[in-house]
Amino acid sequence: MIGIYGGTFDPIHFGHLRSALEVKECFCLDEIRLLPCAQPALKEYPNTTSDKRLKMIELAIQDQESLRVDSRELNRPGISYMVDTLRSIRNEISNTSLLLFMGTDAFKEITSWQQWQSLFDYAHVIVITRPNYQQQPLNEFLTLKLTQNKEDLTKKPTGFLFFQTVTQLDISATAIRELIANNKNPAYLLPKQVIDYIKVHKLYTDN
C-alpha cells in the first residue's frame, strides 16, 4: 500500500511529519509520499517558490527513510488538481492500494475539489482526525464510500472513505510564518535544518 500526503508545505513542520510517520506505521504502508502542490485550487498561491518548498521537505526528511517526496505536481503547469495527480500515480502502480490522506480541514472542502467523486476511482480517502473528533454528517455519495473496517482498504485498491485518529500537534504553517514575520523563534515547531534554510533565504520575513 502506498500513501499520499498532499499540502502546500509552506513550510513543512512537525505537524505534517509526525502525522505522516504515524499513518505510515498505522497502515503498514510500503511508502508514504509527501506531495507538495504547485498551485492550490482552493487556497492562495503560496508565497514561497516551488523549488524552495521542495528543498525544505527534502531537508526535513533527509534522515527519515520512511518518508519520501513526490514532486510531480511541481513539474506540471497550472493548478494542481489532485484528481490528475492520482490518475498519474495510478498509471504507475497498477493495482496497489493507494491511500490519499487529508486533514479534516481539507476534507470539509472535498466536494469543491475538481471531479471530487473521481478521487475514489483512483484511491481510498483517509481523513486523519484528532481524538474525540465529532464527525459531521456525510452526503449520500460519501456515506456509501464510508467503511469502519480498516481491512477493506487492502481488499480493494480504491474506493473507500476511512477516518483515522492520529496524534495531531497543534502546529500550522500559517502560525510559523507569522512568528517569523514578527521576529519570534520558531524552534521546536519544525526541523532545525528547515529553520536554518528559512534564515539563509530570508523567507517569511515580510509577510
Positions touching ligand ATP (CB under 6 A) are 7-10, 15-16, 19, 102-103, 105-106, 168-169, 171-174
Q: Are the C-beta atoms of 34 and 5 separated by less than 8 Å?
A: yes
Instruction: Tell the smallest beta-carbon distance from residue 77 to ligand ATP (Å).
Output: 20
Instruction: Tell the smallest beta-carbon distance from residue 148 to ligand ATP (Å).
Output: 21
Cα 2 to Cα 15, 85, 101, 107, 168: the distances in Å are 20, 14, 11, 19, 21
Given the complex with ligand ATP, which of 46 and 157 has the nearer CB atom? 46
Instruction: Tell the smallest beta-carbon distance from residue 165 to ligand ATP (Å).
Output: 11
Cα separation, 140 vs 46, in Å, equals 34
Instruction: Tell the smallest beta-carbon distance from residue 102 to ligand ATP (Å).
Output: 4
Given the complex with ligand ATP, which of 95 and 132 has the nearer CB atom? 132
The position carrying cell 495527480 is 85
Q: Are the C-beta atoms of 84 and 49 separated by less than 8 Å?
A: no
CB closest to ligand ATP, residue no: 103
Closest-CA residue to 165 (of 152, 153, 151, 148): 148
Given the complex with ligand ATP, which of 135 and 155 has the nearer CB atom? 135
Q: Are the C-beta atoms of 86 and 76 separated by less than 8 Å?
A: no
Q: What b/e string do you get for 56-77 counting C-beta neighbours within 10 Å, with b at 16 or more?
A: bbbbbbeeeeebbbbbbbbebe
To the nearest 10 degrees (0 to 180), the angle between helices 50-61 and 192-200 is 150
Given the complex with ligand ATP, which of 13 and 153 has the nearer CB atom? 13
Given the complex with ligand ATP, which of 106 and 151 has the nearer CB atom? 106
Instruction: Tell the smallest beta-carbon distance from residue 106 to ligand ATP (Å).
Output: 4
